[in-house]
Amino acid sequence: MTVTTDDTPNPAGDFSLADEPFALFANWLRDAEAGEPNDPNAMALATVDADGLPNVRMVLLKGVDGADATDRGFVFYTNLESAKGRELQAAHKAALCFHWKSLRRQVRVRGLVTLVSGAEADAYYASRARGSRLGAWASAQSRPLESRFALEKAVALVTAKYPIGEIPRPPHWSGFRVTPLEIEFWHDRPFRLHDRLVFRRPDATAAWEKARLYP
């Protein structure tokens, strides 16, 4: 898919012809990887806390996968004891937003949340830089930190414990998969007459229904 300027009849191409959202998302992500200067896989993750107050932060997409169509989803990894980890495990629902400013495109996702398998988490953890693996042990993510020195001391202690060789995955660190029930694609158009296309389904086993939306 070629990205062109906004003075063309349809700068995003006629993406309304797409039959299902995952292939379209893959095409847009490839365009972002070619055109976005920083973190094309960055996405806003929205959760809700025990009081019903929304929470949002940026995380990195690490895969769009699953064993089959019924559990295919957007995968990211985190500390399970962090604020987002606790909220995701309590509500089992989340929303995502990708915004690729240079491409003038956005994708919004809403769906159900499950933990990835231990094997998936182990495989991804093993692929991380050594410093990141040590940091996963050292950081009590989202909890109060008395000083930067305390964090550096925790990293030093973990480094001394695992000076060489493999570093096992912490039991409090894993991944989540957001299996979408709704995926909306948005592309900027002149005069704020944007293109919007949404795919919806009542559950993960149902067929997608597609509709255009007013901007």
Number of domains in the chain: 1
d(C-alpha 159, C-alpha 212), whole Å: 53
Confidence of residue 166 (pLDDT cuts 50, 70, 90): very high
pLDDT at 63: 95
Average pLDDT, the chain: 90
Confidence of residue 6 (pLDDT cuts 50, 70, 90): very low
Q: In this structure, is residue 125 part of a structural domain?
A: yes
Q: In this structure, is residue 5 part of a structural domain?
A: no
Residues linked to residue 60 through DSSP beta bridges, in sequence order: 42
Confidence of residue 193 (pLDDT cuts 50, 70, 90): confident
Mean pLDDT of 133-151: 92
d(C-alpha 197, C-alpha 215), whole Å: 10
Q: In this structure, is residue 66 part of a structural domain?
A: yes
**Closest by Cα among 176, 182, 178 to 21:** 182
> Contact, 166 vs 96, CB < 8 A?
no
Backbone dihedral angles phi then psi of residue 115, each to the nearest 5 degrees: -75, 145
Q: What percent of the chain has pLDDT over 70?
A: 91
d(C-alpha 206, C-alpha 201), whole Å: 6
With a cut of 70, say whether residue 13 has pLDDT above it: no
Mean pLDDT of 1-29: 68
Q: Which domain range does residue 155 map to?
A: 15-212
d(C-alpha 172, C-alpha 79), whole Å: 6
pLDDT at 208: 95
Mean pLDDT of 179-195: 93
pLDDT at 17: 83
Q: In this structure, is residue 177 part of a structural domain?
A: yes
Q: What's the chain's Rg over C-alpha atoms?
A: 19
pLDDT at 8: 38
pLDDT at 1: 31
Q: In this structure, is residue 8 part of a structural domain?
A: no
Q: In this structure, is residue 80 part of a structural domain?
A: yes
* Residues sharing a CB contact under 8 Å with residue 55, sequence separation 6 or more, in sequence order: 46, 47, 48, 49, 83, 84, 87
Select the more confidently predicted residue: 16 or 213: 213
pLDDT at 4: 33
With a cut of 90, say whether residue 147 has pLDDT above it: yes
d(C-alpha 215, C-alpha 213), whole Å: 6
Q: What is the CATH number of the domain that holds 104?
A: 2.30.110.10
With a cut of 60, say whether residue 181 has pLDDT above it: yes
Q: In this structure, is residue 1 part of a structural domain?
A: no
Q: In this structure, is residue 72 part of a structural domain?
A: yes
With a cut of 80, say whether residue 75 has pLDDT above it: yes
